[in-house]
Amino acid sequence: MTSIMLSDLQDITKHNIQTFRRRYVSEISGSLGDLGTFLPIAIALAVNDTVSLSSTLIFSGIYNIITGLFFGIPLPVQPMKAIGAVAIARSFSNGTIAAAGLFVSICVLVFSITGLLHWFTNAIPIPVIKGIQVGAGLSLIIAAGGNILSSLSWIHPSWADNRIWAVAAFLALLCSHIYRKVPYALLVFILGLVFAIIHTATGPSARLPSFQLWRPTANVPGPHEWLVGTIDAGIGQLPLTTLNSIVAVTHLAGDLLPEVRTPSTTSIGFSVAAMNLVGCWFGAMPVCHGSGGLAAQYRFGARSGSSVMCLGVLKVLVGLIFGETLVDLLKRFPAALLGVMVIASGLELVSVGESLNTSDARDLANSQHVLSEGECRKRWTVMMVTVGLLVGFKNDAVGFSAGMLCHWAYDLPAIIEKAKARWSEGRIRV
């Protein structure tokens, strides 16, 4: 077993190194693809003193390095969005958000140890999984338009952040579909950082980052914080983490990177659990993996674990050296550019639904069966029911439940006919 693990690690390391040598610019650009999701939530939580920005950068950076090293794919380290949304709206204390993240991680750890995650993955139909992925992509696009870009006008709030820049960034995104070798995310990030530095330096009350070494402090949630964090945020996050951050991301990795060994759902589950069972005690933001982040990093050029390892090194260094003094600067990163990056990742995730009824779908890859028109329509309907209810109710669990009910409804006539046949044969007795 040990020799097999060492052999796998050697193969992954070789893949990371070779990919980085061939396309280091694309790998670095791809590593920045998920910042449109990471930065807004991390900044909002840090401004409210709900999390420590320095701890969040350092621990998420370490997780980036470890996941890139052991999985060999650009696996993102994202905020737990449901927990983040509740924590921002209700100004959670550090202990409360830590309790929420720890609760989810303990549950995921139990699911991984007992094998429930593996069973869960095999039991969910592919149309439902793709529905979750497409729904997550549409949710990102809606969030970008409704939350990030909606506050912009044509010339406000500033010369560096307005609809004009959003339109320019979107046009550049369209051009990047033609000129794939252009490191779009890297260029947009550098431009946004320059704008943020200029805006911060010329602002009346803002201050540029300064040297401030990280000073870790432990934080133990109290009984009331455990209660509020678990009930008000943790329970709502659990289906999102299980479905999107573990099951969907595993399938998406197999679809986007078939040449690389796809991580198992159990290993992804252990990864999510381990990240928060360490970082949450030190004020770090609860994090997970996610199909949206993987799609974003792939869209902007990432093809190996070396991509997120580069991002991890950058996060650790910045967090160690500048710490909380980064908040003012990151608050001024142009929403116009962040919003378009989020739209790009959403579009990439939505596109995976295209392969539902082709040989690229995992359940059809090794099958000689050709789908009939009725079977194609059934699979498409199940996927779209999942998408529609997920987006409509803004809840992965609702979309998943609706998709499964639709799938079972299609199978019900066959089940009834089979039961009738068994009855007529005398194999079922009252």
Amino acid 411: pLDDT:
78
Domain shared by 289 and 382, yes or no: no
Residue 355 structure tokens: 């392969």
- 414 assigned to some structural domain: yes
- Of 334, 357, 382, which residue is a domain's last? 334
- Do both 23 and 89 map to the same domain? yes
CB 268 within 8 A of CB 249: yes
Task: State whether 400 and 297 are in the same domain.
Answer: no
Nearest partner of 386 among 401, 373, 375, 372, judged by Cα: 401
59 pLDDT above the threshold of 90: yes
pLDDT surpassing 70 at residue 362: no
Assess whether 36 and 113 both reside in one domain. yes
Percentage of residues of the chain with pLDDT beyond 90: 10
Distance CA 387, CA 394 (A): 10
The arithmetic mean of pLDDT across residues 239-267, rounded, is: 82
Please say whether the beta carbons of 35 and 77 come within 8 A: no
Categorize the per-residue pLDDT at 199 as very low, low, confident or very high, splitting at 50, 70 and 90: confident
In this structure, the answer to whether residues 104 and 232 fall within a common structural domain is yes
105/8 same-domain check: yes
* Domain assignment present for 61: yes
Q: How many CA atoms lie within 13 A of 54 on its CB side?
A: 18
Helices 291-299 and 126-143 cross at an angle (nearest 10°) of 70
Answer yes or no: is 344 within a domain.
no
Amino acid at 131: G
Say what the pLDDT of residue 61 is. 92
Question: Which of 132-141, 165-174, 265-274 is the least confident region?
Answer: 132-141
Q: Which residue has the tokens 């920045």?
A: 32
391 and 304 both lie in a single domain: no
Mark whether 221 and 116 lie in a shared domain. Answer: yes
Q: Does residue 200 contact residue 329 with C-beta atoms inside 8 Å?
A: yes
| Residue where a domain stops, chosen among 287, 310, 334 | 334
Computed over its alpha carbons, how large is the radius of gyration of the chain? 22
Q: How confident is the model at residue 360 (pLDDT cuts 50, 70, 90)?
A: low
Q: 309 lies in a domain? A: yes
* Total Cβ atoms within 10 A of residue 9: 13
Same domain, 13 and 75: yes
Do the beta carbons of residue 33 and residue 297 sit within 8 Å? yes
The tokens describing 253, both together, are 């990795």
**Are 264 and 118 within 8 A, CB to CB?**
yes
Q: Of 80-89, 208-217, 236-245, 299-308, which has the strongest mean pLDDT?
A: 299-308
Q: What's residue 121's pLDDT?
A: 72
**Residue 39 is assigned to a structural domain of this protein:** yes
Q: Grade residue 62 by pLDDT with cuts at 50, 70 and 90.
A: very high
Q: How many CB atoms lie within 10 A of CB 258?
A: 12
Same-domain pairing of 382 and 287: no
In the chain, the number of structural domains is: 2
Round to the nearest angstrom and report the end-to-end CA distance of the chain: 51
pLDDT band at 3 (very low <50, low <70, confident <90, very high): very low
Cα–Cα distance between 167 and 154 in angstroms, integer? 10
Residues 18 and 118 in one domain: yes
- Paired with 288 in beta bridges are 78
Residue 175's Cβ-count burial label (10 Å; 0-12, 13-18, 19+) is exposed
Residues forming a β-bridge with 78: 288
Comparing 161-170, 199-208, 391-400, the range with the smallest average pLDDT is: 199-208
Residue closest to 354 by CA, chosen among 137, 123, 178: 137
* 322 in any annotated domain: yes
Which pLDDT belongs to residue 205? 66
Average pLDDT, the chain: 81
Residue 70 lies in a domain: yes
* Residue numbers of the domain that contains 82: 1-123+205-334
- Please indicate, yes or no, if residue 95 is contained in any of the structural domains: yes
In this structure, the answer to whether residues 109 and 239 fall within a common structural domain is: yes
- pLDDT at residue 230 in the model: 85
Please provide the DSSP assignment of 198-217 as one string: HHHHHSSS------------
What DSSP designation does 158 have? B
Q: What tokens appear for 238 in the block?
A: 């659990």
Residue 310 has pLDDT above 60, yes or no: yes
Is the pLDDT at 105 greater than 90? The verdict is yes
pLDDT of residue 67: 92
Mean pLDDT score, 330-340:
81
Of residues 189 and 317, the one with the higher pLDDT is: 317
Helix (H) or strand (E) holding 78: strand 78-79
Domain final position from 334, 353, 388: 334
What was the pLDDT predicted at 1? Answer: 39
Question: Which run of H or of E encompasses 69?
Answer: helix 53-71
Among the ranges 106-115, 177-186, 227-236, 363-372, which has the highest mean pLDDT value?
106-115
